[in-house]
Amino acid sequence: MKTRKLLYILPLAALVACEPEFDDVDFNGGSADFTKTVAVGNSLTAGYQSGALSAEGQLNSLPAILAQQLKEVGGGDFNQPLLTGEQGSKGIGIVDTLLPKGEVATRFALKGTVDCLGEASIGPVRKGDPYSAVPFLTGMASVAADGPYNNQGIPGARLVDITNPAFVNPFFARLKTSLPATMLSMAMDLDATFFTFWIGNNDVLGYATTGGDEGSTGPNGMTDPNTFTMSYDAAIDSLTANGAKGVVANIPDITSIPFFTTVKWNALVLTQAQADFFNNYPLVQAYNAALDNPSVIAQFGMNGAAEAESRKLNFSAGANGFLMLDTDLSDAVTDTMGTPLPKFRQLKSGELITLSVPGDDIKCKGLGSADLSDPQNPVINPMTGNYILDLDEIQKIQNNIAAYNSTIKMAAMSHSLAHVDANSRLNQLASTGITIDGITYSSALVTGGAFSLDGVHPNTRGYAILANDFIDAINSTYSANVPKVSVASFSTIEVEQ
Amino acid sequence: MKRLLIPILGLMPLFSMAGGFQVNLQGTKQTGMGHLGTSFSLGASSAYFNPAMMGLDSNKFNIEAGASFIFSSVAYQNQETGMSEFTDNPVGTPFYLYATYKVNEKLSAGLAVYTPFGSSIVWGDDWSGKYLIQDISLQAIYIQPTLSYKLTDKLSVGAGLDIVLGSVEINRAVGAPIGNDNTVNLQGNTTAYGFNAGVHYQATEKLSLGLTYRSQVDVELEEGDVDFSVDPSLESSFPDGKFSATLPLPATSTLGIAYRPSEKLLLSVEGSFVQWSEYESLDFDFENNTASLEDSENPRNYEDAIIIRVGGQYSYSSKLDLRVGAYYDQSPIQDDFFNPETPNTDNIGLTAGFTFNASDNLSIDVSYLQIIGLERDSEYEPANFGGKYKASSSIPGIGVNYKF
């Protein structure tokens, strides 16, 4: 009897062997109401990546990823002003460095390229044919009629632009609902219950990407920290006027983005023979000799001796600081004829070169040293300051960011808003890297896996990491449990044909 | 028996999970009573359970063979995304084959073939932990010539040489910055050696004790194959080639006590100490290093673990023996180093089984083991990957004995 019972039970038990399972995680919005959200900001909110706004970038924008997660805890729809057709696939980018200002360009794609030396490699190349004639302001048709849009991120917008009805920008022009409308007024029109507000990057970025003081005219000047505080506090007062809750993010140290860290200050690699050639070249010897001349040093003023020393050119085998033409250096003449002393020096440790520096000119035209294509007749070819952030400029940028960030932190505290420390997150990415689900991301261009091909904006995974940071801040501030995204489920960069 | 086993071996992967990647299914009779068997002999399987006991049976020849069928599943839940994912493991089939021969009253010789370590975990190509592991198949077949010697009527000793045929195959995704379907396949096999030894002491007619030691075996893969499948732009960064790696199979010491209150009843309790702390790191040394492909050190930091077993056997009739047992198998893995490659929870095993004695020579064993993996919330900290894990296995087993 017992035998027969066992014989029945054993195979039966094998069949019903219970699969392990879990209860669903309890997700909730805590004290926040995500019924209607609005995202106010710049390119980082719009979904800009690889040098342009494209439909794919918009669909993977930070607030779009966030909205998808908020839906799990009662969040509403998130309407975005998607680019369509050719503009949607090739992207629309504001070009302020590679092409004359006022033009738009296609996004960067990762493609095979051949450099001036004939070496093939994979690198960022603008996608497809350039737009033949898309004027800066009228190239994109208005989509205001299909609004209102929950994503009010406008690439290029500075904090000081969001209350300015005269703000000139093609992305803003296509959304603008009326002549007096501003970015902020349009965001207010949504009467949102929850907002994201991440702005201020462009208040320093334009200054930095154009080489600091050399390009600091007009909108490329940094916003004065006091102006920033007034504008920021006013914007937060407006956004919270109806009782809305929200999340704000601070400004990363833009000097650690790949746009400034990819081309190293001392990437001039010479053989001993090349170094000897430069050191013995008559123009270099004459320049160094002039810097030993007391009458020249006297013209430099108080710290003349130090300046003279810092300007001397000296090349050695291995890595050398690039040669630059530094207009900040003192004027001096070398003889009674009034022959001006050139303003040459070599780059110093800590100085940054922009990604916009023409790479082929470094490789084939001796940019940053001398063009030796005719060995009998070398041509000195220094880098100009619009590609370089010197230590003083870097300090100015970091001071402004620190001031902006203390304003942002104060505003978040006084209005009990969630606060994302994007600054320390980028520091972490740049120093130790960030490991998530078995992948370690760094701030390196392309190989780091988090930045897009422009070296300024995150790629899709970078935006997903940020979305999780926003969720962390929301969860801790509003006692919520909003589900996070699986970062690796988002696409990385693909090589395009 | 051999004709039956060979097609099974050819068709099915061999393994499943237990403590770490230890698989304790070396005798269908013993499995039915909590996998106990160090302090009392149940036939030829003594060659594995305690080599000192091979001469305790009255027969000249004992032959025993069997296999188990492991239906296992592991569930993972990420507490931050809310996503649950499950393994889709193939059926593991650990097997054993034992033969013992009594040379004289004192000396016995035996041969054991069994599979005490292995793992077959399939998480799938596109699950959230794919950069740690997609699937792993690990196997170790032990071939063990063994001798047993009766020192006195009460005291026996035995020892065997372990010839270990080890092989491993791992697939995982490569977290490269370009492309979304980059993977690597690592596989290799090798032969390694170890030993085991045991002592058995029949204290009284009712009480017996057994103590065994199984040495650590280092499976050293010297010439493993690395095969990358990556985006064409990355092929020079991830070159195919060879790798070497070492996987320790830990030493295990077991002490058992058996008590027979009556002719029909056998009760036993056992404790095992498994020296998993030797498994500190799984390091891959790649022959062709590049900036993207450096040698990789993957800390494991296992801790020594114990297994406690209790069980009993009741001789219902001359034809039928009934068995029941249970055990607690402690996970050697710390909460910060819990990798889905070896998702080993603390396990409770509940077992039952019987032997049908068809004739004086032939008997058939059946066992059933249900493993309940206790839920744990753990992380593989070096990869920042974690969540809740839960496991379960249902393991029917069958064995055949022939003696003469």
| Measured distance CA(B190)–CA(A324) in Å, rounded | 60
Q: What is the pLDDT of residue B302?
A: 94
Q: In the prediction, which pLDDT does A17 show?
A: 53
User: Scanning every residue of chain A, which has its alpha carbon at the shortest distance from the alpha carbon of B127?
Assistant: A489
pLDDT attached to residue B9: 34
Q: Model-level pTM? A: 0.91
Please give the span between the terminal C-alpha atoms of chain A, in angstroms, as a whole number: 73
Residue A452 in this model has a pLDDT that exceeds 90:
yes
What pLDDT was estimated at residue A414? 97
Looking at chain A, the number of H-run helices and the number of E-run strands are: 18, 20
Who among B81, B178, B370 is closest to A13 (CB)?
Answer: B370
What is the 8-class DSSP label of residue A358? -
Cβ-based contacts of B231 with chain A (< 8 Å) = 494-495
B17 pLDDT more than 60: no
The per-residue pLDDT for B5 is 33
**Cis, bond preceding A165 (omega within 30 deg of 0):** no
Q: Does B128 touch chain A (CB under 8 A)?
A: yes
Chain A positions in Cβ-Cβ contact with residue B323 (cut-off 8 Å): none
B318 touches chain A (CB under 8 A): no
The mean pLDDT value for A136-158 works out to 87
Q: For residue B299, is pLDDT > 50?
A: yes
Q: For residue B387, what are the contacts with CB-CB under 8 A and spacing of at least 6?
A: B76, B77, B78, B79, B80, B377, B378, B379
Task: Give the mean pLDDT of chain B.
Answer: 91
pLDDT digits (tens, 9 = 90+) for B213-272: 999 999 899 999 999 999 988 898 899 999 999 988 899 999 999 999 999 999 999 999
Determine the residue type at A132: S
8 Å CB contact of A3 and B320: yes
Give the pLDDT mean for B170-193: 92
| Torsion angle (degrees, nearest 10) of CA A21, A23, A25, A31 | 180
Q: Which of B337, B334, B346, B340 is nearest to B308 (CA)?
A: B346
Most confident of A202-211, A357-366, A459-468, B335-344: A459-468
B183/chain A closest Cα distance in angstroms: 13
User: What angle do the packed helices A460-477 and A62-70 form, to 10 degrees?
Assistant: 50
Which of B88, B127, B178, B314 to probe the A interface (max A CBs under 10 A)? B178
- Contact criterion met (CB < 8 Å) for A483 and B82: yes
Provide the ipTM.
0.88
pLDDT tens sequence across B348-397: 999 999 999 999 999 999 999 999 999 999 999 999 999 999 999 999 99
Give A374: exposed, middle or buried? Use CB within 10 Å, 0-12, 13-18, 19+.
exposed
Kindly provide the residue ranges of all beta strands, DSSP E only, lying in B37-182, ordered along the sequence: 61-68, 71-77, 84-86, 95-102, 107-122, 135-150, 155-173
SS3 A180: coil
Q: What percent of chain A has pLDDT over 70?
A: 92
- Give yes or no for B394 touching A (CB within 8 A): yes
The answer to whether residues A449 and A36 touch, using CB atoms and an 8 Å cutoff, is no
Buried b (16+ CB within 10 A) or exposed e, A240-256: beeebbbbbbbbbbbbb
Tallying the residues shown for chain A, one arrives at 497
